[in-house]
A and B are shown apart, each in its own frame.
Chain A
Amino acid sequence: MIADQNSAQKEIRKYLLIFVVLLSLTLMNVFVSRLHLNISLTIIIVLSVAAFEASLVACQLMHLISEEKLIYSFLVLTVIFFVFALFIPLWGIFNPITGSTHVP
């Protein structure tokens, strides 16, 4: 957080560094996608890098790392519901209604 002129300059330097890191990671992701690796490996690498970029944005740019515990508690709840929502459709595929067929 910014308390005085000196800490403000430090924060701004930090933001600029994060900006450079984000740009570099994006370019790295584009490069990896162009390597024509095995699709599963590409998905793992690209999504891992994207998740790291997102965590940088959330923790540093949105200051989540120094936020109140209350925010963490309802964000954790949100993540639980998000993961649940993500897997609901897959249950439908792997546990079909008897007699129905799955058409891709």
Chain B
Amino acid sequence: MQEIPYTVAVRQDTGLYNAKMGIWLFLASEVMLFGGLFSAYVLLRVGAGEHWPLGATYLNVAIGTFNTFVLMSSSITMLMAWASLKMKNFGHFKMYQGITIALALLFLSVKGYEYSMKFKHHHFPSDNTFLAIYFTLTGIHALHIIGGVVVNSYLWGPGSKMWQAEPERFTNRIEVAGLYWHFVDLVWIFLFSVMYLL
């Protein structure tokens, strides 16, 4: 059976292994997705003029700040997981990757609590454009978090068997998953700023 090339070795023409090239192209498309959504936010906000509410009118800034800390922490633990593999310490990788997943689940739980409180107070996306764009942006971001949790959980669980046979390839997989995870963190930094603070 023929093996897939450039899973570890870098290509001469790109200077990258294929998965890294792929994830950066994917992230570029993600920039366009969120770019379009932020563009919609700007349009709605400029159109509303002075009628646009402050984020704090509807949203709990303390909860949002807490969730920002949670996501930033998970970004660091993801890096620590990758660094552990670089140092050939599989035990530490398991620990840090596990913490990353737990923090992501904590983020989703807090987001779920926020959503439930909104619905309890009869705040729905159909109420006004602020809530419509809030639910759209944070909802799509939450879907990205769920996707990240699925991938990270696979790499933490059954996918980690690859470490025994192909440690370098497995380390690259974690690096690529990490790049996605940092991007999700990066998007949240802007989301938190525009929805909660402005």
Contacts and interface: CB of A to CB of B under 8 A. Distances in A.
B83 A11 contact: yes
Interface stretch (B29-37, B102-110, B118-126, B142-150): B29-37
Given A15-B79, A93-B47, A86 B39 contact: yes
Interface in B95-115: none
Nearest to A22: B72
A8 interface: yes
A26 B68 contact: yes
A49 to B, nearest CB: 8
A53 B73 CA distance: 14
A2 B174 CA distance: 14
Interface in B3-56: 14-16, 21, 24-25, 28, 31-32, 35-36, 38-40, 42-43, 46-49, 51, 56
A4 B76 CA distance: 20
B106 to A, nearest CB: 16
Interface string B61-77: 10001001100110110
Contact of B183 (A18, A33, A62): A62
Interface residues of A, number: 51
Interface string A65-85: 000111100110111011001
B86 interface: yes
A57 B39 CA distance: 22
A16 interface: yes
A2 B47 contact: no
| B21, B73, B76, B196 pick with most chain A CB within 10 angstroms | B76
B87 A89 contact: no
B16 A33 contact: no
Nearest to B16: A68
Contacts of B132: none
B187 to A, nearest CB: 9
Nearest to A1: B86
A53 B28 contact: no
Interface of B: 14-16, 21, 24-25, 28, 31-32, 35-36, 38-40, 42-43, 46-49, 51, 56, 61, 65, 68-69, 72-73, 75-76, 79-80, 83, 86-87, 179, 182-183, 185-186, 189-190, 192-194, 196-198
23 contacts: A11-B83, A19-B76, A30-B61, A33-B56, A33-B198, A47-B198, A50-B192, A50-B193, A54-B186, A62-B186, A68-B14, A68-B15, A68-B16, A74-B24, A74-B25, A78-B28, A81-B35, A85-B39, A86-B35, A92-B43, A93-B43, A102-B47, A104-B48
